[in-house]
Amino acid sequence: MKVTEHINNAKKTVFSFEILPPLKGQNIKALFENIEPLMEFKPPFIDVTYHREEYIYRDKGNGLLEKRTTRKRPGTVGICAAIKNRFDIDTVPHIICGGFSKEETENALIDLDFLGIDSVLVLRGDPIKSENKFVPDPNGHAYAIELMEQVVDMNQGKYIDEELQSATPTDFCIGVAGYPEKHFEAPSMKSDLKILKQKVEKGAEYVVTQMFFDNQKYFDFVKLCRAEGINVPIIPGLKPITSLKQMSALPRTFYLDLPDDLVDELEKCKDNAAAKEVGIEWCIQQSKELIEFGAPCLHYYSMGKSDPIYRIAEGVF
Ligand code: FAD
C-alpha cells in the first residue's frame, strides 16, 4: 500500500521510522535485529535511505593516484525488498539525484516497481565530501523536482528508454522533503516554500520534514504550507539526541537550532548515557504534543540504533 493510503486508512497518528543500509561489507542480520523490536508498534511503512558514491583517490604506488568510486552504504533497493519480505511491511526507498544518470534512475525505479514497492521519497542528496556544493551527474538531475518529474512521467507511462514506450506505467506514491527551519541553501523560507508548492502541484503526495527539536517550528511550517496552498500530509521527522557530541553536530550538519531548555538540560549531563536519557525524554514530550496536534504520522530517524526509538514508541504509542 502507498504511504498516503496508510495515512488515510489510519484512525490515529501512526508510527514509522527510517533506517540506513548497513555499511558496505556488513551483514543484513544486524539490521533485521534492529527492526524486529520496533514491529511491536505496527509501523505501516519503513523508509530506507539512499547513499551516494564517494570518490576515493588510491595511491597506485608509482606516484600516481587512481580515482575510485565507492558507495559506503549500498543496497537500498535490495534492502527494501528484503525487509518487505521478512516483515511483510511496506518499505519506502529514498531516491536521490546525486550520482545517478536519468537512465540509472529509470532502471532502479523499474526494479522497485517489480519488487512491489508503492512509494518513493524523492530527494536531491547532499554534496559529497569532495564537493563544496552539490554537483549533479552530467546526465542526471540537479534538483529533486526534476527527479520527481521523471517519476511522474513513468507513472504516466513515459520512459526514457525508447523501447519501453508501450510498457505498463508505474504507480508510485511520491513523497518529498520539507524544512521547518528552511533548507540551508534557500535564500528565504518563502522561496523554499515556492519550490515545495511546485513539487506538490507536479505530483508530490506527502512531505516528510527534516528533524526539529522545537515543535513550534513544525506548527509554524504547517501553517505557512497551508497558507501557500500546500495541502498534502506533512509528516514530522524526529530524532532523539543520544550523545553530548550531537549538541553541536546536529545543528552543524542539519542547519537547525536546539531550544535553550534542551541545551540547558544537556549541559547538566555528565556523560553520554545521561544525555541520551534527556534526549529520549525530550523526544517523548515532542511526540505527545505532535500527536495532540494531529500529525498524521511520526517518523523517527533511527540512525542505525533502534533502542532509543523503542523507548520513545513505548512511551507514546
Ligand atoms: P531540492 O528540492 O532539490 O532543494 C535543494 C535546494 O535547492 C533548496 O534550497 C531549494 O529551495 C532549492 N531548489 C530546489 N529546486 C530548485 C529549482 N528548480 N531552482 C532553484 N532552486 C531550487 N539525502 C541523501 O543523500 N539520502 C537520503 O536518503 C536522504 N533522506 C532524507 C530524508 C528526509 C526526510 C530529508 C528531510 C532529507 C534527506 N536527505 C537525504 C537530505 C537531502 O538530500 C538534503 O537535505 C538535500 O540538501 C536537499 O534535498 P531536497 O530534496 O530538499 O532538494
pLDDT tens figures, 63-113:
777 777 777 889 999 999 999 999 999 999 999 999 999 999 999 999 999
Residue 112, SS3? helix
pLDDT at 259: 98
Distance (angstroms) between ligand 1 centre and the Cα of 173 equals 18
Q: Taking Cα atoms as reference points, which of 210, 207, 221, 205 lies closest to residue 293?
A: 221
Mutate to test the pocket of ligand 1, among 16, 143, 300 (most ligand atoms within 8 A of CB): 143
Instruction: Give the nearest ligand 1 atom to 185 CA.
Output: 9
Mutate to test the pocket of ligand 1, among 183, 201, 225 (most ligand atoms within 8 A of CB): 183
144 backbone dihedrals φ, ψ, rounded to 5° = -60, -35
Nearest Cα residue to atom 39 of ligand 1: 125
Distance (angstroms) between ligand 1 centre and the Cα of 211 equals 14
Low pLDDT (below 70) residues in the chain: none
Backbone conformation region of residue 177, classed left if phi is above 0, alpha if psi is from -120 to 50, else beta? beta
119 within ligand 1 shell (Cβ under 6 A): no
Which residue in this structure is represented by grid cell 534512475? Answer: 105
Mutate to test the pocket of ligand 1, among 124, 193, 218, 300 (most ligand atoms within 8 A of CB): 124
How distant, in Å, are the alpha carbons of 58, 60, 130 from that of 64? 8, 6, 19
237 within ligand 1 shell (Cβ under 6 A): yes
144 within ligand 1 shell (Cβ under 6 A): yes
Residue 163, SS3? helix
pTM, two decimal places? 0.96
Nearest Cα residue to atom 3 of ligand 1: 143
pLDDT at 66: 75
In this structure, what C-alpha cell is assigned to residue 180? 521547518
Distance (angstroms) between ligand 1 centre and the Cα of 230 equals 17
204 within ligand 1 shell (Cβ under 6 A): no
177 within ligand 1 shell (Cβ under 6 A): yes
List, in order of start, the domains of the chain with CATH numbers: 3-316 (3.20.20.220)
Q: Compute the distance between CA of residue 210 and CA of residue 98 in angstroms, rounded to an integer.
A: 18
Distance (angstroms) between ligand 1 centre and the Cα of 18 equals 17
pLDDT at 55: 72
How distant, in Å, are the alpha carbons of 23, 68, 165, 278, 302 from that of 31? 10, 27, 38, 26, 11
96 within ligand 1 shell (Cβ under 6 A): yes
The answer to whether 289 is a known catalytic residue is no
189 within ligand 1 shell (Cβ under 6 A): no
Alpha helices, H only, the chain:
3-9, 29-35, 76-87, 102-114, 144-155, 189-202, 215-228, 246-254, 260-267, 272-293, 307-316
183 within ligand 1 shell (Cβ under 6 A): yes
Distance (angstroms) between ligand 1 centre and the Cα of 122 equals 9
pLDDT at 235: 98
The residue from 5, 18, 33, 131 that is catalytic is 18
**29 Cβ contact list (under 8 Å, min separation 6):** none
Cα-Cα-Cα-Cα torsion 23, 283, 12, 36, nearest 10 degrees, comes to: 30
125 within ligand 1 shell (Cβ under 6 A): yes
Q: Compute the distance between CA of residue 124 and CA of residue 147 in angstroms, rounded to an integer.
A: 8
pLDDT at 207: 98
Cβ(157)–Cβ(167) under 8 Å? Answer: yes
Query: Quick one: CA dihedral 205, 210, 211, 212, positive or negative?
Result: negative
Instruction: Give the nearest ligand 1 atom to 146 CA.
Output: 18
